């Protein structure tokens, strides 16, 4: 804090005078600070818009893929199996029967009190594995089996007592995976019984015909039974299960609807931050408030390009022919019923139409949001450079104002000292004059 000289000789509030002068001196700096705050607000708004446009570009590229609307649903119409359609599916119908379900092998030993020795050999698809336990106790043997890489899990199960009243147990062996290839045998001088055999799932196509075909799977799932169609067996049945794959018009419409929604989201952000609003201040005077994008030619250009990309005809045919309509306000509406009808009538035409529109929107959105040379990205970079420059100037003003304040304080201190000297001299002169004896005539 500087040395205070308030009222020392002049009776002036010099601190208040200095503060007032410094407020005047700081006006240019305060203007810069307000400009930085306004520019940063613009940067934040542009960054949000840029993120939305980049998301629209990604969405448009996905909608522009040749199979974007080739969405299908698969049904079996039976509890014996379920089906799902994935990429690559097409309309089809197929009948089959579920002959077998996949099983894991389960084998149990006879009732015993301990293992016969400390070794056991389990033979699976990869050959025999010799296992040695720490002792003949069943706990040690089970632990040794479970620590091995045989693909089999052992479990000790209570089995009553023997004639001597000693507790007995059976050891249950279960293959870790289902399917015939996961079968195993046990050689450990202990009697065993197989409860369930390792078994593949099996379905039969075209049963009862010369073309009858059996297909097996280690699990109950049959991937790509038809291209892009997976079937999961649930119950064995001799009754035919009819698999039907049909175009999923609802899902395809949702893709188009979400795409239009993405466009409207960008346009709404621009519109909201461009509009000029009328209001009144505390005294009732009218006040115009402009949005952060008002008068921004770059944002206006981006808006126009996106609208043009989405609304321009394709081969001289309006997008409204497939339910994508532009409104008087410059936004878009999606008619799902009209789109579904068009898709059902001519899937290839609608897919091509959608691909053309999405390609154009993707190009316009990428041109605006590309992180290197996008229109919005470049504008953000320019504003950020401006903020950096203004902050540098603000820092320079801090130094300048500090120096100016110090100069003012020295000036006022000098003034007070000088006034003090003058006051002292005046007092001395007054004393001298008052001491003089008046002359007698």
How would you write the pLDDT of the chain (441 residues) with one tens digit per residue? 445 556 555 566 777 887 888 788 888 888 888 888 888 888 898 999 999 999 999 999 999 998 889 899 999 989 999 999 998 899 999 999 999 999 999 999 999 999 999 999 999 988 999 999 999 999 999 999 999 989 999 999 999 998 888 999 999 999 999 999 999 999 978 899 999 999 999 999 998 889 999 999 999 999 999 999 999 999 999 889 999 999 999 999 999 999 999 999 999 999 888 887 766 666 767 666 677 888 889 999 999 999 999 999 999 999 999 999 999 888 999 999 999 999 989 998 999 999 999 999 999 999 999 988 889 999 888 888 888 888 888 888 888 888 888 888 788 777 777 777 787 787 778 887 777 766 655
Distances (CA, A) of 349 to 242, 314, 333, 342, 360: 30, 11, 20, 8, 17
Same domain, 225 and 139: no
- Separation CA 424–CA 422 (nearest Å): 5
Same domain, 273 and 361: yes
Phi, psi of 182 (to 5 degrees): -90, 5
- Separation CA 371–CA 369 (nearest Å): 6
Distances (CA, A) of 269 to 163, 208, 358: 85, 64, 20
Domain that holds residue 119: 106-196
Same domain, 227 and 268: no
Same domain, 77 and 125: no
Same domain, 120 and 141: yes
Strand-pair category, 324-326 with 332-334: antiparallel
Strand-pair category, 92-100 with 201-205: antiparallel
- Separation CA 403–CA 121 (nearest Å): 92
What three-state secondary structure class fits 161? strand
Q: Is 430 exposed, middle or buried (0-12, 13-18, 19+ CB in 10 A)?
A: exposed
Same domain, 181 and 124: yes
Same domain, 176 and 285: no
Question: Which residue carries 């649930």 as its tokens?
Answer: 234
User: Is residue 94 one of the residues assigned to a domain?
Assistant: yes
Same domain, 170 and 288: no
User: Is residue 350 one of the residues assigned to a domain?
Assistant: yes
* pTM confidence score: 0.70
Same domain, 301 and 379: yes
Q: What is the dihedral of CA 125, 130, 136, 138, to 10 degrees?
A: -20
Distances (CA, A) of 42 to 47, 294, 296, 382: 9, 11, 10, 11
């Amino acid at each position: 804090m500087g040395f205070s000289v308030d009222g020392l000789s002049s009776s002036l509030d010099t601190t208040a005078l200095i503060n007032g002068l410094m407020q005047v001196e700081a006006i240019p700096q305060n203007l810069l600070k307000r400009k930085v705050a306004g520019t940063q607000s613009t940067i934040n708004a542009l960054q949000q818009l840029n993120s939305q446009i980049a998301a629209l570009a990604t969405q448009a590229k996905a909608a522009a893929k040749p199979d974007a609307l080739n969405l299908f649903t698969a049904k079996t119409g039976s509890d014996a199996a379920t089906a799902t359609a994935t990429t690559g599916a097409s309309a089809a119908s197929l009948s089959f029967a579920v002959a077998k379900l996949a099983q894991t092998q389960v084998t149990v030993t006879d009732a015993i009190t301990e293992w016969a020795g400390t070794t056991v050999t389990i033979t699976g698809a990869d050959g025999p594995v010799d296992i040695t336990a720490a002792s003949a106790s069943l706990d040690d043997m089970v632990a040794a089996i479970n620590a091995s890489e045989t693909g089999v899990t052992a479990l000790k199960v209570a089995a009553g007592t023997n004639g001597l009243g000693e507790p007995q147990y059976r050891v249950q062996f279960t293959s870790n995976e289902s399917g015939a290839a996961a079968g195993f045998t046990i050689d450990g001088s202990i009697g065993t019984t197989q409860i369930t055999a390792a078994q593949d799932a099996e379905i039969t196509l075209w049963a009862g015909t010369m073309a009858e075909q059996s297909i097996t799977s280690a699990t109950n799932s049959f991937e790509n039974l038809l291209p892009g169609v997976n079937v999961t067996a649930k119950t064995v049945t001799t009754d035919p299960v009819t698999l039907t794959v049909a175009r999923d018009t609802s899902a395809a419409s949702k893709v188009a609807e979400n795409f239009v929604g993405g466009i409207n989201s960008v346009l709404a952000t621009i519109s909201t931050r461009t509009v000029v609003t009328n209001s009144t201040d505390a005294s009732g005077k009218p006040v115009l408030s402009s949005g952060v994008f008002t008068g921004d030619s770059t944002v206006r250009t981006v808006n126009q390009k996106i609208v043009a990309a989405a609304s321009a005809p394709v081969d001289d045919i309006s997008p409204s022919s497939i339910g994508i309509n532009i409104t008087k306000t410059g936004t878009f509406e999606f008619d799902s019923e009209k789109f579904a009808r068009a898709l059902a009538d001519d899937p290839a035409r609608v897919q091509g139409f959608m691909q053309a529109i999405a390609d154009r929107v993707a190009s316009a959105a990428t041109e605006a949001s590309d992180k290197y040379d996008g229109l919005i990205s470049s504008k953000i970079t320019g504003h950020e450079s401006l903020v950096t420059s203004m902050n540098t100037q603000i820092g320079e003003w801090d130094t300048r104002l500090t120096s100016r304040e110090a100069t003012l304080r020295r000036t006022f201190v000098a003034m007070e000292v000088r006034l003090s000297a003058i006051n002292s001299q005046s007092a001395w002169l007054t004393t001298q004059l008052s001491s003089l004896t008046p002359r007698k005539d």
